[in-house]
Structure formats: C-alpha cells, structure tokens
Amino acid sequence: MKKLCKIISLLLAIVIVTSACGSSSSTAGNNAASSTENAPAVSEDSASPKEKTVLQIMGPWIVESPEDKILGGVVESFEEAYPQYEVELIGVPSADVVTSVQSMAASKTLPDLVIVNGANNAAWKEMDILEDISGSFDQDFLDGFYPEMLKEFTYDGELLGLPLCAAPFVLILRKDLLDEAGLTVPESFEEIVSVAQALTVDKNGDGKTDRYGMTLMGFPDGNNSLRFTLALFAAGAPDIYTDENGKWATKIGTPEGVRAFKFYYDLAITNGSVPPGATEVDYKTMVNLLSTDQAAMAISGPHTIGTIVSQNPDMEGRFIAVPLIDKETVAYLNPYGMIKFKDSPNYQGAVDFLQYASQNFVEMTRVTKRPPSRIELADVAREAAPEVAAILDCAQYNIAYAKAPFRGEESNVIAEHVNAMLAGMFKSPEEAAEATAQAVQEVLDANNN
C-alpha cells in the first residue's frame, strides 16, 4: 500500500510538471489569442511542394469587430490567389501590440507581419528588427499610394511596411445638432468651445445635463496623447520637432502651446462642456458617449463614426469629419498597415501578402469608413462613405508627426499631464503647459546627448 502511494505520488508530480510546461506556443505574451491553431512558421526553403508556407500575421484587427471579418475575407481570397501560402492570424489587442513585439523580439520569435501604425518605426528600427523592403516593389506600385500615408511607413529613407488604410484624427461632430442650433462648423478653438457650450443641454428639463458638447479622452494612454498632440499642432506648437541644429525640441511651453492646454481646460473645467470623469474616458467610453447621444463632438476619425453607427444605426449620416482648425488647419491621417520584420521566416510570402492586401482592402473603407491608402480606390471610397471623402481632402493638412525612438516615453508624459490637468491638479492651463514642457524637455535632453 505504501509502495502504491509512492508510485501514485511520483506519477502526480510528473503530471503536474508536464502539464505546467504545457504545449509551446508561437503567440506573443499572455494576451495573445490565436484565431487558428498555432503552428511554427515553415520557411520557404524547407517547405516541400505539397506543404503550404505558413505566414504569421499579428495584430489587433484579428480581435476587433468588424475588422476581423474584413481581414478574414482578405486572407481567404489571398490564399485562393496564392495557394502555396497559408495565413496564421495571431490576435493581440492594440494596447498590447508594442509589448508583444518587444517580447517576441527579445525571444527572436517575431512573426512575418504586424498590423500597426507607423508610430513605433523609429524605435523598432533602432532595435534592428526592421529592414528596407522598397526593392521588392515596382516604383509604379509604390507611386499608387497616397504619399502622406506611405511616408508614415518610411524611416530614414527606408520603406519598412505598407499602409492599408488610414485611422485619421480630425474633429468629428454632429451636423444635425449644429443645423438645429443654427451653428456653423467651428474654425478655431474659441469657436469649438463656444459650440460645445451651446450643445451642452438638458434635453428633458429635469435640471441635469443630458448631452455635452464635447468628449475628451483623458485616460492616461496613447490615444489621449495622440489627440492632444493634434490640438498642439493646430495651435502651431508641435510637441516634438527637429530644430535648425538637428536637435529635438518642443514648442509645448510657448504661448501657442498654452492655447492647446487652454482649449482643453476651457472645455472641461471652465465651461463644463465635457461629461464628468474625463480622466476615465478611454476610446471605448468615448464611442459609447457619442453613440448614445451623450456627447456631440470629439477629436477622432471616420473609423469612430463607423463604430458609432454599428453600435447605434440611428446615428447614420449624423456625424461629419472636418479638419481641426485653430492657428493651423490640421489632420493626422494615422495610417494603419503592416510592417515586415527583418528576420521574418517568409520574406517573399510577406511581400506578396503586403502587395495583395493593399490593393484589396476596400471593404475596410466600406464598413469602417477608414480611407484607403491606394489612390486608385479613392472613387470607390468617396462613393462608399461621404465621411471618407472629407478625410481624403484633409490629406493636405496632414501633420508632420515626428518619428522618434523615444516616442513612447514622450507620449506617456503628455498623456499623464493632460490627465492631471483634467483631474484639476493644475491651477491654470499655463501651469499645465509649463509642467508638460519641462517634462518633455527632460526626455528630449536625455535623447539629444
């Protein structure tokens, strides 16, 4: 009996160890979720004619709706057109993409492609995990992209990926409410503040505000930072730029920078035209506020309009997208596409998919209102969604969003200070601007050495 107990205990210990080790997975971090069975990528050299080459594509669209279906459709048609390939999709929420890429880069398990915007190109190029792929495409093909979008996937003259569509930041607002109130589209920060105040109403007369004029994203994350940066550019105060000596500099602390802080301050604190709890508002909360008629304006893009309408079809046709105007007229196309990693197991497969996807992504425009990256798709896009037409016209106002390896750190600083201002931690917008400028300058000084 004692011997039997010992043997059972030993077996249990072995089972615990082997189950804890588990099956190895090629997915990233703890947050990745595969939509298909994970399989190690097979290099083209080792694949026999009968075996398919597995391409791994990682990104947030795989776990977002309706993007997952659209991407799934493109993958299916790609696999039909290129039967030698099989695409494995690795879903990672957008907030975790950078972390996942970092972890995979450290463990040398990067996939072939990642769905992302161009914000991290500089940092990833510094890590030497990206390479120039311009030589893999004809110049005619590359000339078919909107140059502003292609530029976002270029760093130091090297093409690192291809844009598929834009997820732009502009000012989105309720045209129906403007018309009802007899107001025109605002063309300065003061006008936006005034319009927001006018649109902040108690709809049912119970003494409580039911709709606010504007919603601001105050949650301390990258989305907050990106939107406020657009406001800085509109005020004529870019957060980061290279000066005449080639050094990183900032204009946040200038009078123009203070304008941007005053813009947010007046909306949220002085006039109360923003729903309470702005520091809690992340992207999903902002969409909820807009789709449930609790807010009338936001700095976001047509893709947000697409999500609003999918949540509340009654909102179809009520929103328009216009450039953000103050001292400058600005928009940020924020193109999304795919970056190819340097040591991707399947170079040609990745290139083939990039080329195919960029020419066959029009469904993304129809459904999510994201403008296409190919000029040839402009007419289809204009017909699919009027909001898209407005954004294509905004391309000329695209801001020069500086590509810096320390973008992540600087973005955190801005997000935290905007969050602190909206939480009432600064007595004035001037104080907020000064504190932010100081903190950003520290980051710039550390990277200028």
Partner 1 sequence: MQKFLDKNFILVFFLPTAILSAVLIIYPMGYGIYISFFDTNLVNKWDFVGLRNYISLLSNKAFQQSLIVNVKYIVAVVSGHFLLGTILALNLNKNIKGRTVFRCLLMLPWLIPEVVFAVLFKWILNPQYGIFNFTLMDLRLLDAPASWLGDAKLALPAVILISIMKGYPFVMIMVLAALQTVPGQLYEAAEIDGCSSRSAFFHITVPSIVPILTVALILDTVNWFKHYTMVNILTGGGPANTTSLVSVTIYKTAFSSFKFGLAGAMAVIVFFICYIFSWIYRRLTDEKKT
Residues 170-229 that bind partner 1 (CB under 8 A): 208, 218-221
Residue 82: enclosing H or E segment and its boundaries?
none
Asked whether position 289 contacts partner 1 by CB under 8 A, the answer is yes
In the complex, minimum distance from the CB of residue 219 to partner 1, in angstroms, rounded to a whole number? 6
The string over 85-121, giving b where at least 16 C-beta atoms fall within 10 Å of a residue's C-beta and e elsewhere, is bbbbbbbbbbebbbebbbbbbeeebbbbbbbbbbbbb
CA angle 62, 116, 300 (to 5 degrees): 95
126/179 with CB nearer partner 1: 126
Asked whether position 288 contacts partner 1 by CB under 8 A, the answer is yes
Asked whether position 425 contacts partner 1 by CB under 8 A, the answer is yes
In the complex, minimum distance from the CB of residue 130 to partner 1, in angstroms, rounded to a whole number? 11
Residues 405-424 that bind partner 1 (CB under 8 A): 406, 408-409, 411-412, 416, 419-420, 422-424
In 182-221, alpha helices (H) = 189-199
110/390 with CB nearer partner 1: 110
By CB under 8 A, name the one of 27, 117, 273, 279 that touches partner 1. Answer: 279
CA 73, 340, 136, 123 torsion-angle sign: positive
Asked whether position 278 contacts partner 1 by CB under 8 A, the answer is yes
By CB under 8 A, name the one of 51, 76, 126, 156 that touches partner 1. Answer: 126
In 207-317, alpha helices (H) = 222-234, 255-265, 283-291, 302-311
Q: Which residues contact 216 (CB under 8 A, 6 or more apart)?
A: 227, 264, 267, 268, 274, 278, 281, 298, 299, 422
Helix axis angle for 255-265 and 189-199, nearest 10°, is 0
| Choices 46-54, 55-63, 180-188, 286-294 (CB under 8 A): range interacting with partner 1 | 286-294
- Among 54, 79, 5, which Cα is nearest to 357's? 79
Given the DSSP bridges, would you call strands 297-300 and 170-174 parallel, antiparallel or unpaired?
antiparallel
Asked whether position 277 contacts partner 1 by CB under 8 A, the answer is yes
Q: How many residues bind partner 1 (CB under 8 A)?
A: 47
5/49 with CB nearer partner 1: 5
| Choices 232-240, 256-264, 280-288, 381-389 (CB under 8 A): range interacting with partner 1 | 280-288
By CB under 8 A, name the one of 54, 89, 92, 98 that touches partner 1. Answer: 98
Lookup: tokens for 148? 């502003």
DSSP state of 435: H
Given the DSSP bridges, would you call strands 248-249 and 113-117 parallel, antiparallel or unpaired?
unpaired
Contacting residues toward partner 1, per CB under 8 A = 6, 9-10, 13-14, 16-17, 20-21, 98-99, 102, 105-106, 123, 126-129, 208, 218-221, 275-280, 285, 288-289, 292, 294, 406, 408-409, 411-412, 416, 419-420, 422-425
